[in-house]
Amino acid sequence: MINRIALVIQYDGSGFSGWQNQKDFITIQGTLEKKIAELDPIRPVKVIAAGRTDSGVHASGQVVHFDSSGPIPIHKWTSALNGRLPNSIKVLEAVYVSSNWHACYSAKYRRYRYSIFNGSYPNLFLQNISWHKYRVRLDVNLMRNALSDLLGLHDFAAFQKAGSNRPNSLTTIQEVSICRSGDIVTVEIQASGFLYGMVRL
C-alpha cells in the first residue's frame, strides 16, 4: 500500500545550493530524499515542496510531500528522519494526506521574510540571517507606502525572471508588512503564489 506523507520542515540554507536537486551540488531536496530512501528503500523517493528556495535561503515552515510504501508508522517519521538528517534540516511534523493532495498545488499561500541589517557596519552574528544594506538609514514609512500598492491581483511580469513556464504572470498579494527593530528592518510578503524570482527582484 502506498501512503502520501506531508512533512513540515525547517532548514538553514547556508550550506546548500537551494532546494531543488542539482547534479554535483548539495541541495535540501537531495539530502531529504536520500534520508527518506534509507527508511523506505522499496520505491524511488521524490519529494515535492510547496515552493523552491534559492541558495542560502532558509525556511521555517516549508511543507513537502512524498509517497511511501514502507512499514514505518506515521508517528515514527519525525524522529526517524531527525535522527538521520544533518543539524541544518529538521522535521517538525509528519501526517498522512490524501493521494491527490499536493504540497505545491494544494498550498493556499506562500510567505517570505527578508531581514535587512541597516546598521553602518555588518554584524557578524546576523550575517547568515540578514542582508547588510547601508548607504542611508532606510525610511520604513516610505517603504510601507510603496509596499501597499502591491496588495491585490496584479500582473507582475516585470518582476519575473526569464525561464518561467507559468501560463501568465498574474499573482494575488494577500499581505505585506514592514517593521524596524533597532537596525533590523523586516519585510514580509504573502501571496497565493510567486513568479520565478519575483520576491528577490
Q: Which residues are catalytic?
A: 54
Is 175 within 8 Å of 190 (Cβ atoms)? yes
Provide CB contacts within 8 A for 87, sequence distance 6+: none
Is the torsion defined by CA of 39, 40, 46, 50 positive or negative? negative
CA distance 21 to 27: 6
In this structure, are residues 184 and 130 in contact, taking their beta carbons and an 8 Å threshold?
yes
